[in-house]
Structure 1
Amino acid sequence: MSIECWQEVINDYEKLLENGRGYDVIICVDENEEIRAHSLVLSTRSQYFCTKLFEENVERRDGKIIIKRPNISSKLFKMILRQFYLLWKD
């Protein structure tokens, strides 16, 4: 795959992360901030999320998966989340 094609894919995932369209995960951080994400991306890119998102007792609200991490700063978590969306495996 050409570098230009990969860059286009990366740009599309960045837009997906920024606009949150089609999100099905809400991650609560910093006590009261909610970050929107996509279970398909998270479960594909992270073993932790793959396990966490499909637990039987995972909290759900209005069809969305709720993950609470109140002790993580939103700035730090957004940086981590960005890595899941934008860095690709070879």
Structure 2
Amino acid sequence: MVDNKFLPKLSQNLLEILDDDEYYDITIEVGNEPHIKIFHAHTVILNYRSSYLRRILSTNKKKINGTLIHIKLPNISPKVFQIILRYIYGGKLSLVEYDASVIIKILVAASELDLQELIPHIKHIWLRIKQTG
């Protein structure tokens, strides 16, 4: 029997890792001028959660001299990337507080990042919004 009672604590710990500015090994620059933001993250988590990022990281290994990996994702806004990054780390996504335009942007970003388990979930929510709206 599988006991899932520990998953909320694991999710919380992974989000704490995301918020910790000490042990990151990658910076991700998102957005376009004048709305650019740099996020700190961990290659090992990104590698396993996004096949798109895995492909980027496989060609961009950490330098021998300890230089951080830096990637750019100009097609994703900082607001949307923050939502996606919290999903990648914590496995949670609530869309109730966002309007339709933000949900569409999250769907596009999830598609770009190849987050296969998230795409159908967002599409389902989008269809419910369209039916009720």
The TM-score with structure 1 as length reference comes to 0.80
Query: What is the alpha-carbon root mean square deviation over aligned residues?
Result: 2.4
> Separation in 2 of the partners of 1:7 and 1:59?
31
Aligned runs of 1:1-90 on 2, under 5 Å? 1-31=2-32, 32-55=36-59, 58=60, 63-87=67-91
Name the stretch that deviates more: 32-41 or 80-89.
80-89
Q: Which runs of 5+ in 1 are unaligned?
A: none
8 A contact 1:23–1:38 mirrored in 2: yes
Supply the distance in 2 between the matched residues of 1:14 and 1:5 (Cα, whole angstroms). Answer: 15
Name whichever structure is richer in strand by fraction: 1
Q: Which runs of 5+ in 2 are unaligned?
A: 93-116, 118-133
Identity %, equivalent residues: 29
SS at match of 1:16: helix
Bigger radius of gyration among the two: 2
Give the Å deviation of 1:30: 2.1
| SS of residue matched to 1:29 | strand
Partner of 1:4: helix, strand, or coil? Answer: coil
More relative contact order in 1 or in 2 (CA 8 Å, sep 6+)? 1
**Matches of 2:61 and 2:90, distance apart in 1:** 27
Post-superposition CA distance 1:45-64 (Å, at most 9, x none): 11111111111xx3868521
